[in-house]
Copies of this chain bind each other. A is one copy, B any other.
Amino acid sequence: MAAFRVGARAVEGGRFQANGGGMASSRLQAPPKNPPNREEVALRGKPRSNHLAAAAKLRRRAGPMPLWRVAVFVSVALNVATLALLLYHYAAPPPPHHHHQHSRLTASSEGSLAAAARREDRTTMAPSTGKPAVTPDSVINLDHGDPTMFEAFWRETGDAAELVIPGWQTMSYFSDVTNICWFLEPELDQQVRRLHRTVGNAAVDGYHVLVGTGSTQLFMAALYALSPAAASAEPISVVSTAPYYSSYPAVTDFLRSGLFRWAGDASSFEGDDYIELVCSPNNPDGTIREAVLASKPGGKTVHDLAYYWPQYTAITKKADHDIMLFTVSKSTGHAGTRIGWALVKDRAIAEKMTKFVELNTIGVSKDSQLRAAKVLAAVSDGYEPSEADARVGARAPRLFDFGRRKMVERWSMLRAAAAASGIFTLPEETSGFCNFTNETAATNPAFAWLRCDREDVDDCASFLRGHKILTRSGAQFGADPRYVRVSMLDRDDAFDIFVRRLSSFKSGEGEADGVSTAIWEHV
């Protein structure tokens, strides 16, 4: 992949993953407030009608038996009421026009009327749905690694990953006063260790587990913990081999810290003391990375293993570096939950990293920690059934099977489209033997590192923007602007439209589209 490292330049702070989109996407129409939801409709429909039917049947057969009749109707009424209640817990908030039906169903006394009323309020608690739905003419925003591809999987898991939090739970700042990371929920600690043991992608024995508000916060925590303590010391140099994740320079420099300073491409670094960031598989280009400066004495490394999971690459060994960063955003797709974790060998480093999170945000959302624990448990259950599931021969859905299937499918679609276009090239496919699946598997990176070969295109990102495809320029990764990074993790509809547009590119079409290019370049 050496060819991909040409034209490496350090970039200044300010450019960042979610940024371009915060701006760009704001041009799109707002997301629908209450998206219709198949499961929910099904849930509301079936059971009720079953019971009413049963009641009717009983009524028809009713002989002169008043006491029995009463018993039956009381019983049926109870069924209907409890089921109606139950549905509010299993179903997502139904669209407004369904409310009254529901509250009437449970309105058998003033008490339950009040309850129904309060539940009716609850249905107004509408969660966001992320980026708006797309149409064939939409702007397709693949600038960020928004992992909405995984929603389809979690919709199929029923209540296995559903979280219920009573109003009085986890109100304290503290989770475990006996743990170095005193704000870490013990359940998350356990589920993180369990999943790594199940997958075999990282060593956990003898490691401290730390939780952060996404792995970005733990990245900053690591820089803080690895910086020289002496007030007199110069800021330590932070480096990574180009192309490197565009947020590394931005996050390192945005506060102009006197503790650490971005120093660009590791492969051209000259100094002695440094922190090398090793992202493997690498964001943006999916290559498997090793530290390049590891030999030097004053050197420290942070391994960002956000993408070292079976849906993206072969699990070839159990990673056992000093500091390893992971996140649910890329492993399970729960980016909105903002939970990352670090596996840290050294106690003193773990304490300093914990101190950073304490000073930065006084700990990490316990609601999200519990949700992450729930989700990781559901993933492990798929491959290592719990005793309870095993007893009854049940098996939870398997996330990595789903993820691998989708990624293989999408990569073959993309390679076909690039070939059809005649002007785009992609990194060649690599593969390895996966100890988790026990078979040879190709790498299917979460991002495509796409190069435009047209002589008249020296800025691939703005060329694609001219075709209403938002990507991130290679320049932001310290690389050649003829490259762009494209997210492979968006919803099916967006990905399909992207691939269709890409395959329709022909030399010269760029000009034909000059107008819309102009439009987009002036926003």
Contact = CB atoms under 8 A, between A and B. Distances in A.
Contacts of A247: 359
Contacts of A370: 125, 127
B162 A157 contact: no
A130 B68 CA distance: 52
Interface in A382-420: 386, 388-389, 391-394, 396
A26 to B, nearest CB: 5
Contacts of A147: 171
Contacts of A161: 166-168
Contacts of A168: 151, 154-155, 157, 161
Contacts of A68: 65, 68, 72
A388 B247 CA distance: 47
Nearest to A12: B231
A226 interface: no
A405 B378 CA distance: 44
Interface string A171-192: 1111111100011011100000
A337 interface: yes
Contact of A257 (B21, B124, B258, B354): B258
A121 B185 contact: no
B368 A365 contact: yes
Nearest to A172: B130
Given A25-B177, A148-B172, A182-B25, A118 B388 contact: yes
Interface in A250-293: 250-251, 254-259
Contact of A366 (B54, B128, B171, B364): B128
Contact of A82 (B82, B122, B164, B339): B82
A216 interface: yes
Contact of A255 (B22, B257, B336, B363): B257
A517 to B, nearest CB: 22
Interface string A39-79: 00000000000010010001001000101100110111011
A19 interface: yes
B371 A165 contact: yes
B176 A30 contact: yes
Contacts of A177: 21-22, 25-26, 28, 30-31, 131-132
Given A18-B173, A166-B92, A128 B337 contact: no
Nearest to A88: B164
A64 B404 CA distance: 60
Contact of A72 (B75, B89, B167): B75
A117 B361 contact: no
Nearest to A163: B165
Nearest to A152: B168
Contacts of A441: none
Most chain B CB neighbours (cut-off 10 Å) among A83, A164, A168, A393: A168
A240 interface: no
A110 B392 contact: yes
A96 to B, nearest CB: 12
A164 B85 CA distance: 13
Contacts of A251: 359-360
Nearest to A167: B161
Contacts of A183: 18
Contacts of A171: 130, 147-148, 150-151, 154, 333-337
A82 B81 CA distance: 10
A431 interface: no
Given A72-B71, A160-B118, A171-B336, A16 B54 contact: no
Given A75-B76, A117-B392, A213-B361, 6 more contacts: A30-B178, A116-B388, A120-B388, A146-B174, A157-B168, A161-B166
Q: Give 6 closest A-B pairs by Cβ, nearest first.
A: A130-B172, A161-B167, A117-B388, A256-B258, A114-B394, A154-B168
Interface of A: 13, 16-19, 21-22, 25-26, 28, 30-31, 33, 51, 54, 58, 61, 65, 67-68, 71-72, 74-76, 78-79, 82-83, 85-86, 89, 92, 103, 110, 113-114, 116-122, 124-132, 144, 146-148, 150-151, 154-155, 157, 159-178, 182-183, 185-187, 213-214, 216-217, 220, 224, 231, 247, 250-251, 254-259, 329, 333-339, 354-356, 358-368, 370-371, 373-375, 377-378, 381, 386, 388-389, 391-394, 396
